[in-house]
Structure 1
């Protein structure tokens, strides 16, 4: 395991911790002010709209700057905005405006992370992806368990400056990463570059099928967003806000176990990639249906734990497939365009389901999600290309 991977991993742990703390602080602020699922969900909707615009307007950066440079620059911009937020967060409109700006700038972060990890983990994708996401989940578990009490006790001003410190440390580590690849500049116009990315995304079978599958599931995935889980916990389960964090922690513990399984059995997971995706999707569909009817607190934790296991294994397979099958010249565009598609779908679903929850009840939304997961599982089973997916081991270079 090389030093660049370790430094990259630590930097992303710090970034993730900062992001979760920021989300918790903003969501709790709006929820406590409004006591409304719709108004609280507007944080995620506005964040999604900003990410859509950012994905469109900032995608060209990947043809001019390195992924490492994009990540460092994004974090520095977020630090400045959080400093402004620390002294202007007194009203919901102000929080929503700053959420938009932070999400717009941050829209380049996830694709850049995918690009940089693809280069660092090139020779052993499943194992290094497994280690990366398992460690991330361990720290997410800790922050979901301890973060909400911390945010509730500390003043938002203190939380914001804690976030700034985490982001600064992340930038310092990013600058120390040594990755031997260069941005492949070309003379194509912005429009032609985007068109080239679309062509690669929808003409390469692995990328096309994984993207279609993710897009369909992103409609149902809104039930696991922070606002929906918070509202389900307090209104349907009748539990205090701390149980929102406990359920998130249980999910991440399951994700950690899923990551460990992926690392331990990386060769089998690579060889049986498509069948792993099918089995994981089936388990998620079944467990979501059970969760929608459950009203027992401890069993809700068990279900979240169990859902985390197949979700993590499947995500690792899909990430490895995307990294392996994305041409080097357009990998940044592919990650950005995927984010654009998924963000549009999830934000639209979030807005629609937030409204529907007030009309038909939060339980009905979870049942609809279980139906969508089931439909996707059936489609995967009937799609021979997905069922036959596999990941090549020890690949030394991209397409």
Structure 2
């Protein structure tokens, strides 16, 4: 079953993602055309990643005190206010003051760092049973469509009307996302329960004390380490991420130029092909979600092995058209495996655990991805692009081997803790 509030969440997150892409594209264009420096421009994605990492680390404190819907609303409100303030300044200033621009990126990224864990923790409260994997598939499809079309359409808009006017589109999008987020209803919050345990037993006088900041910061990590299934999925995901960073635009561009001997235009074809495959993968999950539900863990491992086979073929190929087809095919199993991973994690967390654990997983994933980019950059310079993609396939193979060896963790019946607590919440609501 999927609740009506999920579709509201789905729509607001789609609009918010559009705003994120438009704001990044317009700021990158503005900074690069004004400064003429690639080094200065690269600070925007770099500061964005670092700020989101820090935000993910402190997110458990916020999530322990406020409902998830309020966190989403506050994040979008803050981004709207900060970004609109920056636009107003840039509209009046003859030349932008770059430290102020970077400070704005840090502030907006810090607020945005709460969005993904809050969203991922909220989805299993709004979708149950077989509807959960369908909900994750729908969210994934919309994410991929926005990423596929957003940069292309955003680039056209910037070219036609300019970077600064385009920023107003992002500002309006943030406002719309904020407005409709106010209509999302969390049944867990309506039942009178907080996003995470707020208090612990006190002394003999039956007093109640709030957990310390240290306890709140570590709660997600402790729950992650204690939960065998979620811990296993996290290990598989992060090993896969070490190789998955190979598919970012910079590496694909280097492969296009050095191995395929094509010009930069082929990067656009490659990116479009990958996103089309990802969209098809998401739609496939939505279409056959009921079949996947019965043996989701096995489907995840099989999808990863299909990806490995395609990645190896991509690395060994030297012709542009087959490379484009292979990259398109890569997106399909990657997306299927990603949706299943998210669903398995959500299934095996209680509503109280989910916000803090999702925050820990988000911080860990961002850190792994950043380290992977640095490592793969060194490896590609040392051994070449083809060997780098072979390494990416090897790392995912390791992830599959770990998953297969530890498959007994998922042989037992699904944990009843989540379902029991969820039913209690629904009944009270």
TM-score (norm 2): 0.81
Aligned CA distance change for structure 1 residues 6 and 30 (closer, same or farther; 3 Å): same
Check conservation: 1:44, 1:347, Cα contact below 8 A. Answer: no
Aligned CA distance change for structure 1 residues 75 and 208 (closer, same or farther; 3 Å): same
Structure 1 CA distance for aligned equivalents of residues 263 and 160 of structure 2: 15
Structure 1 residues 14-57: Cα deviation after superposition (integer angstroms, max 9, x where no partner): 11122233344455667884568xx8765444333212211222
Structure 2 CA distance for aligned equivalents of residues 149 and 295 of structure 1: 31
Does residue 115 (structure 1) correspond to residue 115 (structure 2)? The answer is: no
Aligned CA distance change for structure 1 residues 190 and 136 (closer, same or farther; 3 Å): same
Aligned CA distance change for structure 1 residues 148 and 356 (closer, same or farther; 3 Å): farther
Does residue 370 (structure 1) correspond to residue 393 (structure 2)? The answer is: yes
2:403 corresponds to? 380
2:180 corresponds to? 173
Q: Which residue of the other structure, out of 202, 206, 209, is the alignment partner of 2:232?
A: 209
Structure 2 CA distance for aligned equivalents of residues 27 and 366 of structure 1: 28
TM-score (norm 1): 0.87
1:268 corresponds to? 291
Q: Which moved more, 1:287-296 or 1:80-89?
A: 80-89
Q: Which moved more, 1:50-59 or 1:273-282?
A: 50-59
How many residue pairs are counted as aligned between the two chains?
397
Structure 2 CA distance for aligned equivalents of residues 94 and 234 of structure 1: 36
Tell me the SS of whatever aligns to 2:211: coil
Gap runs ≥5 in structure 2: 200-209, 424-429
Written as runs of structure 1 = structure 2, the 5 A alignment for 1:339-350 is: 339-350=362-373
Structure 1 residues 335-382: Cα deviation after superposition (integer angstroms, max 9, x where no partner): 000011111111122233335544544444333222212222222232
Q: Which moved more, 1:160-169 or 1:251-260?
A: 251-260
2:360 corresponds to? 337
Structure 2 CA distance for aligned equivalents of residues 94 and 229 of structure 1: 32
Tell me the SS of whatever aligns to 2:353: helix
Gap runs ≥5 in structure 1: none
1:46 corresponds to? 47
Check conservation: 2:348, 2:415, Cα contact below 8 A. Answer: no
2:207 corresponds to? none
Structure 1 residues 78-130: Cα deviation after superposition (integer angstroms, max 9, x where no partner): 22333355428858766555433332221111101112212111342112222
Q: Which residue of the other structure, out of 136, 161, 166, is the alignment partner of 1:159?
A: 166
Structure 1 CA distance for aligned equivalents of residues 68 and 158 of structure 2: 32
Aligned CA distance change for structure 1 residues 29 and 248 (closer, same or farther; 3 Å): farther
Q: Which moved more, 1:223-232 or 1:207-216?
A: 223-232
Check conservation: 2:350, 2:421, Cα contact below 8 A. Answer: no
Aligned CA distance change for structure 1 residues 26 and 120 (closer, same or farther; 3 Å): same
Structure 1 residues 290-328: Cα deviation after superposition (integer angstroms, max 9, x where no partner): 323444443333223211111121112111111111122
1:324 corresponds to? 347
Tell me the SS of whatever aligns to 2:145: helix
Check conservation: 2:29, 2:163, Cα contact below 8 A. Answer: no
Aligned CA distance change for structure 1 residues 341 and 139 (closer, same or farther; 3 Å): closer
Structure 2 CA distance for aligned equivalents of residues 40 and 232 of structure 1: 23
Choose 1 or 2 for highest CA Rg. Answer: 2
Tell me the SS of whatever aligns to 2:187: coil
Structure 1 CA distance for aligned equivalents of residues 62 and 320 of structure 2: 46
